[in-house]
Amino acid sequence: MQVFQKKDTNDLLNRTSPLKRTLHTWDLTFLGIGAIIGTGIFVLTGKGALTTGPSLAVSFLIAAICCGFAGLCYAEFASMAPVAGSAYTYSYISFGEIIAFIIGWDLILEYALGAATVSAGWSGYFVNLMNNFGIHIPKVLTAAAGTTPGVTTYFNLPAFLIILLITYILAKGINTTKRVNDTMVIIKLAVIILFIVCTIWFVKPQNWKPFTPYGLYSFHNGTAAGVIPAASIVFFSFIGFDSVSSSAEETINPSKTLPRGIMLSLGISTVLYIAMTLIMTGVVKYTVFAKFLDAPILAVLKATGQTWLSIIVSIGAILGMTTVILVQLYGQSRITYSMSRDGLFPKFFGEVDLQRQTPYKGTWFFGIITAVTAGFINLNILSELVNIGTLTAFILVSAGVLWMRHKHPEIHRGFRAPGVPFTPIIAIAFCLLLVAGLNWETWLRFVIWFAIGLVIYFNYSYKHSKLRN
């Protein structure tokens, strides 16, 4: 069938790119850390702790293992086909056009909705920080309508503005993006290390008992609780490392530097996540976080009497979530650039500004759409869609490694995932386990998004595909 027509890796490797190659291993590592460390530490730890208790560290470890096995599969593909597009391109090589389009459509969901969701958390920290300096933003402009029960809000102005600012930075070019991201990641890591050093002395081991109050999986007050549901929640924290592979056409020696950047960023982030969650649930009883859902770290600072740290941590949180938004919007622009170049999206999204060497128009288009989404829509009911979209991408990339090893062992790979076929099979199993922790409403919304994508594919993409025409 024509819809399953595949790309040839030799054609991809022989293609010249208008994008500028400037990224090295540590740039990619910082890009990955910028995407991973943000919402997970500064926002989701509260909700995660209430879901599973002190065993939240185990939930983070499970989510990290899932991403680690998937990361090895991404690294192999990145070395085999070092071009922009991430899972979209890898699926095109392995399974054909329609599967590639579906996964590209999923990645739009992951990156755009993910950036909008993180910007809402960013807005909360920013408003609190401004309040500390005596600057009060009108309540009606601090969140989308219906976000907070009992509070009248209409529009999330800070979230809207930060996305527009980041879009401007991305449109300026990859060198500007790299410098801004590297600077913010260094400051963010310094704040996290300062927090660890200042609070580790206040840990009380009795707060870790019982370590797993809700077991692996159970129901508490009518909702799923335990280690696995919490892992499904905090999985959102690791989303974004896959966007590193979207930078292949802007990376120097990508077949070697991409795998290193992916695995280094995952490893460093996992260590910091586990250290932070153990300290936070050790300093205060996990039930305390119910009063600090928007800013769980402040519960720890209040308990230790180190309120002087709150402003520093708030700045770290703001920078942390800024880099997450930046990397997700960066990945978004490169996915749509790749899909446009293949004819599956309109030409508009693939046009590269020769001066800035970026897909300038597409970057601004999705930046504005994401900003409006963050400003007007209550994202609480949509955030888990990001998880299911990403898990689907991970499953397809892992399955793609199995397929390509079996069908095309002759293709050169600068990096080979160890333990194949077990590595991709374990990655798929972990992803399915986390999918099982999501509620049925998420599945329904995902099916609707999937159906919309198929309508677009058969009415536009199928007719304009450059591979077929």
Check residues 328 and 41 and name the one with the higher pLDDT.
Answer: 328
Measure the CA–CA gap between 275 and 270, rounded to whole angstroms: 9
Q: What percent of the chain has pLDDT over 90?
A: 22
Q: Which sign does the torsion angle of CA 210, 215, 219, 225 carry?
A: positive
Give this prediction's pTM. 0.86
The one-character DSSP state at 243 is G
Report cis status (omega within 30 of 0) of the bond before 421.
yes
pLDDT tens digits for range 94-118: 888 999 998 889 888 778 888 888 8
| pLDDT value at residue 164 | 95
| DSSP letter string, 39-59 | HIIIIIHHHHHHHHGGGHHHH
C-alpha torsion 57→60→62→67, nearest 10: -150
Contact between residue 329 and residue 163 where contact means Cβ atoms under 8 Å apart? yes
In the predicted structure, residue 382 carries a pLDDT above the cut 70: no
The Cα 237–Cα 241 span in angstroms is 10
Pick 162 or 111 by higher pLDDT. Answer: 162
> First vs last Cα of the chain: how many Å apart?
15
Quick: pLDDT tens for 122-158.
Answer: 888 888 888 878 888 888 888 887 777 777 888 899 9
- Could you give all domains of the chain from N- to C-terminal order, each with its CATH number? 2-14+22-464 (1.20.1740.10)
DSSP H helices, 81-146, are: 87-94, 97-108, 114-132
Mean pLDDT score, 248-268: 85
Q: What backbone phi and psi angles, to 5 degrees, belong to 219?
A: -120, 130
Instruction: Report pLDDT for 208.
Output: 93
pLDDT tier at 379, thresholds 50, 70, 90: low
Consecutive H or E run containing 224: strand 223-225
Handedness of CA 20, 82, 6, 89 (dihedral sign): negative
pLDDT confidence bin for 231, thresholds 50/70/90: confident
Rounded Cα–Cα distance for residues 239 and 235 (Å): 7
Give the pLDDT band of residue 205 (cuts 50, 70, 90).
very high
Cα→Cα distances 204→79, 196, 216, 284, Å = 46, 15, 24, 8
